[in-house]
Amino acid sequence: MKKRFFYLAIYALPLLFLLGFTQKEKKDIKKEALPKEDQCYTCHKEVEILPKDFSQNDAHRYANLSCSSCHGGDPTSADETIAKSSSKGFVGVPKRQDIPKLCGKCHSNIDIMRVYQPRIATDQVAQYYTSVHGKKLLSGDQNVAECSSCHSSHNILPAKDPRSTVYALNIPNTCNKCHGNKELMKKYNIPSNQLEEYSKSVHGEALLKNKDLGAPSCNDCHGNHGAMPPGIASISHVCGTCHTSNMEYFTTTKMAKSFEEMNFHACEQCHGYHAVQKPSTAMIGVNKESQCIECHTPGDEGYAVSKKIKESLVKLNNYYESANANFLEVRQKGMNDVEIGFLLQDVKQTIIQSRTLIHTFDSTKVSAKTEEGINIAVKASLLAKKEIDEYYTRRNGFAAATVVFLIIVITLYLKIKEKEKKTNQK
Amino acid sequence: MIKNIGSKIASWIDERYNLEPLRNLIKHKKVPAHRYSIWYYMGGVTLFLFFVQLLTGILLLLYYRPGEDSAYESVRFIVTEVKFGWLIRNVHSWSANLLVLFAFIHMFSVFFSKAYKKPRELTWVTGFILLVLTLAFGFSGYLLPWNELAFFATKVGTDIVGVVPIIGEPLKMILRGGEDVTGATLSRFFGIHVAILPAIFTVFLVAHLFFIQQQGMHEPEKFKNLPENKKKYIPFFPDFALKDLLFWVVVFNILIFLALYFPWELGNKADAFAPAPEGIKPEWYFMFMFHTLKLLPAHILFIEGELFGILIFGVAAVIWMLIPFIKIKQKHGWKIQPLTLIGILVVFFIAVMTIIGYLV
């Protein structure tokens, strides 16, 4: 009997251990999923006075930060007078000019922040004070944006979260909350139609319509915490962050120097800024819409170069169109269009490259590239012609084969009839 | 001159191997001539299409490379780059379909003319096995281009096999070479298509042809009852053979017409992670079975509808194969004999289900 009990105990041990393990696991999950609820939250929820923009999903809540982390006070006490007493450090709603420093208490301290994200930046506040927003706030302006203007106060989410006010797709609207306010902007003497212009631009369409997160939003050109309108010197670098080749070509030209001397805004001079449109060949050459003739006049070198560049581009485009028409015919005939498709992609690539080379303002460089594209287009057209010829050859081959088969059929038929006649005679 | 050389060679062989039996066969083989003679050509054309398959299949084998990363690419290479590759591949696909069609016609013509009766029971059985093997050829060959439609059709097809109790699941695993349709399934189907099936098929084909050769063509009742002098025969060589040849040439011409004007689409490459494309349909000769299974209710008599359907099809196939051994009494006074009626119903069922399957 004793022995049996002993065995039972032995078997029960690992079982208990397992049970404990699963219990522990359950607890861990619970801790991860739900933030702690302290006395601030419990009471405010009860009397239904939670901040207007309060969200259960706030990142700080999930980091187990209490209301008191920002507002001060004692989150353990259920007694309002104790909880909100100044002796417990209660500050209530922080003053606007204090907010950057308040957030910086943690966000500028890498020792605190690395717990959450080892690679997180901690220079936001420092950057902020270099921005127009920050400088104005320091000088006592109560209307400029501080941290909570963009990130919200109680609904703060990481920028990668699509629900966040600073998620790439939401940024234009977040900035527009203030920058779209005519009255407010009037005070600073800046326009308020940026979003409207941006939405129509090639960047705005890509981001807002096509939801292309690679497209630049406000902060990609202006910076975020250190937001500033880009200066003349920095414009080509700002655009060059993405349009690297264009910047590289442009900065090494004579034109770049002349632009600087004449106080021209580099890229912006021809392409505009918020309303930047998809560039077309109409922008170059000596026609009415050309940007070049704004400065260049007939007879000068630039005028001639612009004309030449335009001619090369148009020529390449024509070759591309004709090759594409042949490609479509091949496809429509159900013939092999794979290789031609690849070649046409290469031609398209040379079109893009030669358009980029416009920024060298060197017609020989552009025409060398367009000739390369033309050669590929010719190759594609030849291949397409071969396929179309093959299409007709197959049909003709079938017709010829059918004639041969018909002759065989007739011969066989006659032979059979002849045999039948013979057997009938027998 | 040529004739001279020909006869010299013939006599050289004759001296050593005695060609007399062969010569006798050619001389004496006769085919009955009557109003239903046309059906005699159906078997021949099926055989012809089998040879077309054999030849085009061997040619495709020169370029086809089985494997997840190469099957689709190699078929595309065949139809785009290889000289006449497009023709060979399309003829192979079209010929496969015509082969099944003519095999069915051949089978039903034999059924309705009651040619399977004693002493031709085994000819019928081997013929039925050949038909099943042909369908297996079709099913295994369909996957080989490794395109989207084939991939999902194979998935559905092998899923149906898995429904069969006890042996279904292991059989499905064997067919697929694992849990899912993968590259392993492809190599398996390739092996089945180009090695296993041809080997088995050859055995049954030789037996089938041997039986026919031994017993000669079947004569319908009415023809048999004619007085001897009224019975008309035509010699197999060359009369019947010439007619056969004429029919083959016409079929071949139709074949290349179809291959040129209605090329078999290759479609997109199979992607196991892509959602199944809309309108996955099996090949037309599986449609009647597929659609019947789809129409069956979820449960019939305590068992799953699908399983019920498969069992019924299985039993029906076995009965159909053994029909020469089943005695059904002739009903005097009946305009249509019971067996003929069953045959008509079967044809009607297959036709209606196929049509509905394509319309829905």
Q: Please say if the pLDDT value at position A50 is more than 90.
A: no
Chain B residue closest to A413 (CA)? B246
Q: Average pLDDT in the A222-249 region?
A: 84
Q: Which of B234, B235, B249 sits opposite A409 (nearest CB)?
A: B249
Assign A34 a pLDDT band (cuts: 50, 70, 90): low
Residue B227 lies in a domain: no
Q: In this complex, do A419 and B257 lie within 8 Å of one another by their Cβ atoms?
A: no
Asked which of A96-100, A112-116, B128-132, B300-304 is least confident by mean pLDDT, the reply is B300-304
Q: Which of B81, B239, B253 sits opposite A416 (nearest CB)?
A: B239
Contacts within 8 Å (CB) and 24+ apart, B349-355:
B349/B288, B350/B288, B353/B287, B353/B288, B353/B289, B353/B291, B353/B292, B354/B284, B354/B287, B354/B288, B354/B291
Q: B77 and A338 in contact (C-beta within 8 Å)?
A: no
Q: Position of tokens 């017709």? A: A399
pLDDT of residue A2: 55
| Mean per-residue pLDDT over chain A, rounded | 88
| Mean per-residue pLDDT over chain B, rounded | 92
Total domain count for chain B?
A: 1
Distance, in Å, from the CA atom of A70 to the CA atom of A99, rounded to the nearest integer, reads: 9
Is the model more confident about B54 or about A79?
B54
Most B CBs within 10 Å: which of A419, A424, A426, as the mutation test of the B interface?
A419
Question: Would you list the DSSP string of A132-161?
Answer: HHHHHHHTT-SSS--HHHHH-SS----TTS
- Which backbone phi and psi does B163 adopt, to 5 degrees? -75, -30
Side chain identity at residue A21, one-letter code: F
Asked which of A208-217, A245-254, A281-290, B330-339 is least confident by mean pLDDT, the reply is B330-339
The pLDDT tens digits of the residues spanning A293-306 come to: 999 999 999 999 99
The pLDDT tens digits of the residues spanning B92-122 come to: 999 999 999 999 999 999 999 999 998 999 9
Q: Which of A334, A395, A419 sits opposite B239 (nearest CB)?
A: A419
Q: Please say if the pLDDT value at position A322 is more than 80.
A: yes
Residues 6+ apart with CB under 8 A from A50: A44, A154
Distance, in Å, from the CA atom of A373 to the CA atom of A369, rounded to the nearest integer, reads: 6
Question: Would you list the DSSP string of A4-60?
Answer: HHHHHHHHHHHHHHHHHHHHHHHHHHHHHHS----HHHHHHHHTT---TT--TT-HH
pLDDT of residue B220: 85
Q: Which of A398, A401, A409 sits opposite B250 (nearest CB)?
A: A409
Q: Average pLDDT in the A233-258 region?
A: 87
Q: Please say if the pLDDT value at position A22 is more than 60.
A: no
pLDDT of residue A63: 82
Q: In this complex, do A398 and B243 lie within 8 Å of one another by their Cβ atoms?
A: no
- Which backbone phi and psi does B79 adopt, to 5 degrees? -80, -15
Assign A20 a pLDDT band (cuts: 50, 70, 90): very low
Residues from chain B contacting residue A390 (CB–CB below 8 Å): none
- Which backbone phi and psi does B234 adopt, to 5 degrees? -120, 145
Q: Average pLDDT in the B199-214 region?
A: 96
pLDDT of residue A228: 81
pLDDT of residue A274: 92
pLDDT of residue B299: 85
Task: Tell me how close the Cα of B253 comes to any Cα of chain A, in angstroms.
Answer: 7
With 0-12 / 13-18 / 19 or more C-beta atoms within 10 angstroms meaning exposed / middle / buried, residue A343 is buried
- Which backbone phi and psi does A109 adopt, to 5 degrees? -110, 105
pLDDT of residue A10: 58
Residues from chain A contacting residue B259 (CB–CB below 8 Å): none
Q: Average pLDDT in the B234-261 region?
A: 92
Question: Helix B121-143 to helix B85-112 angle, to the nearest 10 degrees?
Answer: 150
Q: B100 and B72 in contact (C-beta within 8 Å)?
A: no
Residue B18 lies in a domain: no
Chain B contacts to A (CB-CB under 8 A)? 76, 79-81, 234-235, 238-239, 242-243, 245-246, 249-250, 252-253, 256-257, 260, 263
Residues from chain A contacting residue B249 (CB–CB below 8 Å): 405, 408-409, 412
Q: B280 and B153 in contact (C-beta within 8 Å)?
A: yes
SS3 content of chain B, % helix, strand, coil (to 5): 70, 5, 25
Task: Tell me how close the Cα of A167 comes to any Cα of chain B, in angstroms.
Answer: 30
Most A CBs within 10 Å: which of B76, B94, B249, as the mutation test of the A interface?
B249
Q: In this complex, do A415 and B242 lie within 8 Å of one another by their Cβ atoms?
A: yes
Share of chain A above pLDDT 90, in %: 57
Q: Most confidently modeled of A4-18, A106-120, B321-335?
A: A106-120
Is the model more confident about A223 or about A406?
A406
Residue B316 lies in a domain: yes
Share of chain B above pLDDT 90, in %: 66
**Dihedral angle at the C-alpha atoms of B96, B99, B104, B109, nearest 10 degrees?**
170
Q: Please say if the pLDDT value at position A35 is more than 70.
A: no
CB pairs under 8 A between A and B: 42
Residues from chain B contacting residue A401 (CB–CB below 8 Å): 253, 256
Residue B303 DSSP symbol: E
Distance, in Å, from the CA atom of B284 to the CA atom of A388, rounded to the nearest integer, reads: 32
Residues from chain A contacting residue B245 (CB–CB below 8 Å): 412
Most B CBs within 10 Å: which of A390, A412, A419, as the mutation test of the B interface?
A412
CATH of the domain at B146: 1.20.810.10
Most B CBs within 10 Å: which of A333, A393, A415, as the mutation test of the B interface?
A415
Task: Tell me how close the Cα of B315 comes to any Cα of chain A, in angstroms.
Answer: 44
Residues from chain A contacting residue B243 (CB–CB below 8 Å): 412, 416
Residue B336 lies in a domain: yes
Task: Tell me how close the Cα of B230 comes to any Cα of chain A, in angstroms.
Answer: 13
Q: Please say if the pLDDT value at position A26 is more than 50.
A: no
pLDDT of residue B2: 74
Residues 6+ apart with CB under 8 A from B237: B26, B27, B29
Identify the sign of the CA torsion A283, A284, A286, A292: positive
How many residues are present in chain A? 426
Domain around B263 = 40-220+233-359
Chain B residue closest to A393 (CA)? B260
Q: Please say if the pLDDT value at position A7 is more than 70.
A: no
Chain B residue closest to A399 (CA)? B257
Residue B29 lies in a domain: no
Assign A392 a pLDDT band (cuts: 50, 70, 90): very high
Q: Which of B79, B243, B249 sits opposite A416 (nearest CB)?
A: B243
Which is nearest to A216 in space by CA: A203, A226, A225, A228?
Answer: A203
Q: Which of B234, B246, B252 sits opposite A412 (nearest CB)?
A: B246
Chain B residue closest to A422 (CA)? B239
Asked which of A189-193, A261-265, A384-388, B11-15 is least confident by mean pLDDT, the reply is A261-265
Q: Which of B81, B250, B256 sits opposite A401 (nearest CB)?
A: B256
pLDDT of residue A8: 56
3-state secondary structure of B184: helix
Q: In this complex, do A401 and B253 lie within 8 Å of one another by their Cβ atoms?
A: yes
**Dihedral angle at the C-alpha atoms of A148, A154, A158, A159, nearest 10 degrees?**
-40
Residues from chain A contacting residue B263 (CB–CB below 8 Å): 334
The pLDDT tens digits of the residues spanning B4-58 come to: 898 999 899 999 998 888 888 888 888 888 888 889 999 999 999 999 999 999 9
Residues from chain A contacting residue B30 (CB–CB below 8 Å): none
Q: Please say if the pLDDT value at position A14 is more than 80.
A: no
Residues from chain B contacting residue A420 (CB–CB below 8 Å): 234, 239
Residue B26 lies in a domain: no
Q: Please say if the pLDDT value at position A31 is more than 80.
A: no
Distance, in Å, from the CA atom of A152 to the CA atom of A61, rounded to the nearest integer, reads: 14
Chain A residue closest to B84 (CA)? A394
Residues from chain B contacting residue A415 (CB–CB below 8 Å): 242
Q: Which secondary structure element, helix H or strand E, spans residue B304, and what is its range? A: strand B303-304
Residue B16 lies in a domain: no
Q: A236 and A247 in contact (C-beta within 8 Å)?
A: yes
Assign A82 a pLDDT band (cuts: 50, 70, 90): confident
Q: Please say if the pLDDT value at position A93 is more than 60.
A: yes
Q: Please say if the pLDDT value at position B267 is more than 50.
A: yes
The pLDDT tens digits of the residues spanning A157-169 come to: 999 999 999 999 9
Q: Average pLDDT in the A212-230 region?
A: 88
Most A CBs within 10 Å: which of B82, B233, B253, as the mutation test of the A interface?
B253
Assign B129 a pLDDT band (cuts: 50, 70, 90): very high
Residue B88 lies in a domain: yes
Q: Average pLDDT in the A201-223 region?
A: 93
Q: Which of A398, A412, A423 sits opposite B242 (nearest CB)?
A: A412
Q: In this complex, do A398 and B263 lie within 8 Å of one another by their Cβ atoms?
A: no
Q: Which of B81, B243, B249 sits opposite A408 (nearest CB)?
A: B249
Is the model more confident about A26 or about B247?
B247
Q: Which of A401, A402, A419 sits opposite B238 (nearest CB)?
A: A419
The pLDDT tens digits of the residues spanning B208-241 come to: 999 998 898 888 888 888 888 888 888 888 888 9
